[in-house]
Amino acid sequence: MGILEQMRSGTDSTFMQVVVAAVVVSFIGWYAQPQGDMSRVVAEVNGTKIMDTTYGRAYRNRLRQAEAGAQRTLSDAEQKMLGDRVKAELVEGEVILQEAERLGMEVSQTEVAMELLQIPVLLDENGVFDPQRYERFLKQQQYTRSAFEDELRKDLLRRKLRFLAFMGASISEPALREAWEEQQTRVDVSYVQLYPTDFADAVEITEEERAAWLAENEELVRTTYDQDFSRLYNHPETVTLSMIRLGVVDGGPDRADLISLANQLRDQLDAGADFATLARRWSEDPSALRGGALDPRAVTQLNQEVADALEGVAVGALTKAIPSAADVRIYRLQERVEPFVESFDDVRDAIADRLITQERTPALAAQFAEEELLPAWQAASAPPRELVESKGLRVRETGLVALQGGTLPASLLDAARRVDVGGVLPEVYEQSGIRFVGQLSQRIEPDEAQFAEVRDDLTEPMLGRRRSEFYQNWVADITASASVR
């Protein structure tokens, strides 16, 4: 029997008592060692400080995991979102820990020792705790022994509280039946979704309104300009190209023959042949349908071979044939735009108009949905398509969908479960700033006789879901009531 199995079966054996005792002894001085540099407070929860050392370690671990999963370096925006999420999780973890301690819950040194003995990376090939592996692990994770073991204690305390909260949740027979019915019900909804941006054209801004708004918000406009400078206002050199691409394919001409063909085509073009005509005939690229025309792109976005080939090429001239493992290409330079910068003064009014529009469009979308679309739909008991289309919107159909998940608001689907078939849903529903108005076209409800057959199989998974929801809502409540700064 391995050590993990022995741990699960209890600690009655002399061997296990000795092992646990040995690990417990190693915990002496638990709180005596320093906890690292406490130079900066990241957050404070009910008076307890979360330090930058704790945050930094958690963030680095999560960043490594996220980048390994994505197989790329996260962008600055993604890293900021990850940092905010790590901070929120640390705050939530501290709230849970404080609640457990308030309730008088404790974790013994023996429990921490037993948990330590079950960490796979600390066990040797025979499943036995290896002190040397432990020391290497601590060094890799940048933990002191006391700090890591204290984190184990805190984690065990949180798990105990989670288990206690789980035991406080139950599911009654009526609730189980209702959950099963909700799970099995399917609805088909006709709906219109209204994005705030759909109403941007309806925003009218006078010069006086803009001037008054800028008097109060010029700093915001300046900040927006600085944030968007690289993306919108610092324009790199761009080129507009046309291309003929000859692909290297199995069983086709080899690359040397394709280079020869490319040079022949180049000679024809130099002699006055029409590029678009040759591209439609010879090019093996979707752009052939447009006569080889490509969208404008920054020179920095071109691969190095193409950028090098364009060096010194005049507008209207051809590049040499550019071979690669996959193809041979010829480009004609149609236009070159030198790099330039739009100054703050040049774009200040445009930025102000954009920000003012963003402020006003949510109210316009809500007003149209509540005062025009929903009343017209209710009056006709059918989608008012002419009104919808006048705003550039369209009526969509969900098809038969479940009441859980999907892209529609949960409150809309809940209403579709209760309204009569053919009924217009009673209100405007909102999700992430998008408004929805709809009508129930069809509903398929489960056969009541099936419930008795599946009841026993449903109880455990539905109870698990109920417990998880109960715990998450409870944690959200105690976190909301905590003093966090």
Give 10-residue mean pLDDT values along the chain (485 residues): 36 40 40 46 90 86 86 81 91 90 90 89 89 89 86 90 78 74 88 95 95 96 94 93 92 89 94 95 93 92 90 94 92 95 96 95 96 97 96 94 86 94 96 95 86 71 77 87 89
What's domain 237-338's architecture? Roll (3.10)
Please state the pTM of the whole predicted model: 0.55
What is the chain's Cα-based Rg? 33
- Residue 3: C-alpha distances to residues 11, 117, 123, 282 (Å): 11, 8, 9, 70
- Residue 373: C-alpha distances to residues 194, 195, 360, 419 (Å): 10, 14, 19, 19
pLDDT of residue 39: 56
* pLDDT tens digits along 321-336: 999 888 999 999 999 9
Task: In whole angstroms, give the CA distance from residue 245 to residue 328.
Answer: 6
Tell me, what amino acid is at 381?
S
Facing residues of 241 across strands? 333
Within a 10 A sphere around the Cβ of 3, how many other Cβ atoms?
Answer: 18
* pLDDT tens digits along 226-256: 999 998 999 999 999 999 999 988 888 888 9
The domain defined by 3-167 folds into Triger factor/SurA peptide-binding fold (1.10.4030)
Task: In whole angstroms, give the CA distance from residue 24 to residue 144.
Answer: 16
**φ/ψ (deg, to 5) at 322:** -115, 105
pLDDT of residue 27: 42
pLDDT of residue 28: 36
pLDDT of residue 15: 35
Chain-centroid distance of CA 178 in Å reads 32
